[in-house]
Chains A and B, each alone.
Chain A
Amino acid sequence: MTSAFRVVGLLALAAMALVPVLPLGAAQEYIWHVIIQIFLWSFVGNAWSLMGRFGLVSLGHGAFLGVGAYATVLLWNFFGMTPWLGVVLSVLLTVALALVISYPCSRFRVVGHYFALVTLAVGEVVRLWIVAERDWTGGSLGVSLKTAGTASGLWTLQFADKRVFYYIGLAAWLFGLWVWWRVDRSMARSAMEAIGEDETAAASVGIRVTRFKMGITALSAALTALGGALLALYLAYTNPDTLSGIGVSLRIVFAVVLGGMYSLLGPFVGTALTIALSEYLRISFGIKLIGIAETIYGLLLIIFIIFLPAGIYGSIRDALFRRRWARPQPS
């Protein structure tokens, strides 16, 4: 069973790696574009689920995404700093932010609804701050990445060819899966699951609650910031609503919950489906009926949450394997 799985997985991976060299005709640029987005947003979703699966439901990942994206773009635009360094700095900045929030949250047991709403506030603070600092950030209009012109290439991480970003996206996604897998097999997972179930009990058997929570939050924030930076570099543009704020935070969480947050591939399945769905609706309705695509999207989200609470991938997997791998969900 497992080896058959491995073969299928490797084949799928090979197919993904081959997409850019396939002749896809006129639509190829568009198809690459959609897949790159799926890779990058799945990566972000995976980062979110590192916390979400342990009951740390953050509605403020838009903040981490936004800091990562804006810091990278602004460092390049204003100081000409190579994104290689800019990404590192923006990730560090985001981790610092995450720790500042996570320490008191973990220390004072801000959990459940309260944690969700505190993180939501953090997301709003970052979004409003970005809007308020309009001299730098362009306010709600957003900011474009200054083009590198002839300096395009590896140093500036700007490429005329979308295929380069395709492989960057693929690599990022695989890296995210690897991190998830490592966490899944580590001691941290058992510790975090114990904490998620009963903090007092976990603390009483010697688990260092604050440290584990801060650690997983920092890791999640760092990956999210990296995702934000990559998205900003790829799109060469960022604005407070596409890469920050509640809407973005909710979309990340939706995709993950839709796919299934307790499984490795859940975030990918959820992200692929939501992006495919919104692209499909966008193309079918185009500009004829503005809002219809989002209307159907919102409706489907509600229906999915009500009828498939374990997520699509999670439900299918559970059905196939009779819940053999199913993890207990926090009640």
Chain B
Amino acid sequence: MIEPIFILEAVVNGILLGGVLALLALGLNLIFGVIDIVWIAYVDLVALCMYAVYFLVTLYGWPLWLAGLGAIGVGAGLGVLVHLLIITPILSSPPINQLLATGGLLFFIQSVATLLWSTDHRSVRVSLPTIEVGGIFISFSRLIAFGLSVLAMIALYLFLKRTYTGTAIRAVSQDREAIALMGARPQRLYIVTSAVGGAMAGVAGALLIIQYAVHPYFGGAFGPLTFMICVLGGLGNMVGAFFAAFIMAQVISVGGVLVSTEMGYVIAFVIFIVLMFVRPGGIFARRG
């Protein structure tokens, strides 16, 4: 029998993990919701941003916070590049080709990373204390990552809700032609969306590198999970993805403590599959 305190600790860790997962899912879901293409390689872009932080810190001696900002820039730039070079030519292709083109990018990023930086695991060592609250041990870096993810998500929310461009980004997915009649350029909105989605990848990368070591196949660990969260929340549904991220994180964290790490993931995926059948449009889809 596992002591309740460990389960409680797992719950707290699950919430902290949920923050970062939500950030990943929101970036991917924003792009899907607006451009209608799933970037299979999204988490591999996150891995590139993690590398960016790593090298800015270790090679160029940047302070961590500045390297994090640098990663956001790198992410935004990568997002725009991916959109212009890969997505634009296949915007009207069959969905399978769109999935595969970004899947090809996944292979490409993983192997370029192997080629340039070998398969070594690299991490930015930050010596942050672990704090104890009522017998529960919480890693401070996780706490920071959680706090900053929440901030990034609030910023994204305000951008989409308050600004003209953000509102237009939500509008273009509903009616591409009508938004052009409003005087907005759909192409430009797509580029901004990709840049914002990429910037979210940059934030996520900066927050992940202080918790995990990066390696060329890092995307394989978080990628499928991110897709599941997006589908569970409803593709393109930002609020749904947010909650789905916390649900999945709980399952993985608590399941991991109760059974084993892999089984935590297996349970999460099985729950995902079952939920897909109960609510095919995502758990938060409107009925009818």
Seen from chain A, the residues whose Cβ lies within 8 Å of a Cβ on chain B are: 52, 57, 59, 101, 104-105, 107-110, 112-114, 116-118, 120-122, 124-125, 128-129, 131-132, 245-247, 250, 253-254, 257, 289-295, 297-299, 301-302, 305-306, 309, 329-331
Query: What are the residues of chain B within 8 A of A295 when measuring CB–CB?
Result: 108, 111-112, 115
Q: What is the chain B residue whose CB lies nearest that of A118?
A: B276
A121 with B96: CB separation less than 8 A: no
In the complex, 7 of the A-B residue pairs with CB atoms within 8 angstroms, ordered by the A residue number, are: A104-B277, A108-B280, A114-B280, A129-B262, A292-B111, A302-B104, A306-B101
Seen from chain B, the residues whose Cβ lies within 8 Å of a Cβ on chain A are: 32, 38, 40, 86, 89-90, 93-97, 99-101, 103-116, 118-119, 216, 220, 223-224, 227-228, 230-231, 235, 260, 262-263, 265-266, 269-270, 272-273, 276-277, 280
Query: What are the residues of chain B within 8 A of A250 when measuring CB–CB?
Result: 40, 100, 103, 106-107
Query: What are the residues of chain A within 8 A of B223 when measuring CB–CB?
Result: 246
A246 with B100: CB separation less than 8 A: no
Measured between alpha carbons, how far is A309 from B89 in the docked complex, in Å? 11
Measured between alpha carbons, how far is A246 from B217 in the docked complex, in Å? 12
A246 with B231: CB separation less than 8 A: no
Measured between alpha carbons, how far is A271 from B244 in the docked complex, in Å? 38
Chain A binding surface, main DSSP class: helix
Chain A: minimal CB distance from B264 (Å):
9
A110 with B280: CB separation less than 8 A: yes
Measured between alpha carbons, how far is A183 from B95 in the docked complex, in Å? 24
Measured between alpha carbons, how far is A193 from B233 in the docked complex, in Å? 30
Query: What are the residues of chain B within 8 A of A112 when measuring CB–CB?
Result: 95
Q: Residue A290 contacts which of B32, B89, B118 (CB distance < 8 angstroms)?
A: B118
Q: Residue A305 contacts which of B100, B116, B262, B269 (CB distance < 8 angstroms)?
A: B100
Chain B: minimal CB distance from A141 (Å):
14
A57 with B273: CB separation less than 8 A: no
Pick the 10 closest A-B CB pairs, nearest first.
Answer: A298-B108, A294-B111, A291-B115, A291-B114, A298-B107, A301-B104, A104-B277, A132-B262, A302-B104, A295-B111
Q: What is the chain A residue whose CB lies nearest that of B259?
A: A132
A257 with B231: CB separation less than 8 A: no
Chain B: minimal CB distance from A326 (Å):
14
**Contacts A110-B277, A110-B280, A257-B97 given; does A297 touch B107 at CB 8 Å:** yes
Measured between alpha carbons, how far is A114 from B283 in the docked complex, in Å? 13
Query: What are the residues of chain A within 8 A of B224 when measuring CB–CB?
Result: 120-121, 124, 246
A329 with B108: CB separation less than 8 A: no
**Contacts A101-B273, A125-B269, A132-B260 given; does A305 touch B97 at CB 8 Å:** yes
Q: What is the chain B residue whose CB lies nearest that of A57?
A: B96
B100 with A253: CB separation less than 8 A: yes
Chain B: minimal CB distance from A110 (Å):
5
A329 with B100: CB separation less than 8 A: no
Measured between alpha carbons, how far is A5 from B60 in the docked complex, in Å? 63
Chain A: minimal CB distance from B262 (Å):
4
Q: Residue A302 contacts which of B86, B111, B116 (CB distance < 8 angstroms)?
A: B86
Q: What is the chain A residue whose CB lies nearest that of B236?
A: A113
Query: What are the residues of chain A within 8 A of B105 when measuring CB–CB?
Result: 298, 302
Query: What are the residues of chain A within 8 A of B260 when measuring CB–CB?
Result: 132
A128 with B269: CB separation less than 8 A: yes
Query: What are the residues of chain A within 8 A of B109 when measuring CB–CB?
Result: 298
Query: What are the residues of chain A within 8 A of B95 when measuring CB–CB?
Result: 57, 112-113, 116
18 A-B pairs besides A132-B262, A298-B107 with CB distance below 8 A are A109-B280, A110-B280, A113-B32, A113-B38, A114-B231, A117-B231, A121-B276, A124-B269, A125-B269, A245-B220, A253-B100, A257-B100, A290-B114, A294-B114, A295-B108, A298-B105, A302-B104, A306-B101
Chain B: minimal CB distance from A194 (Å):
18
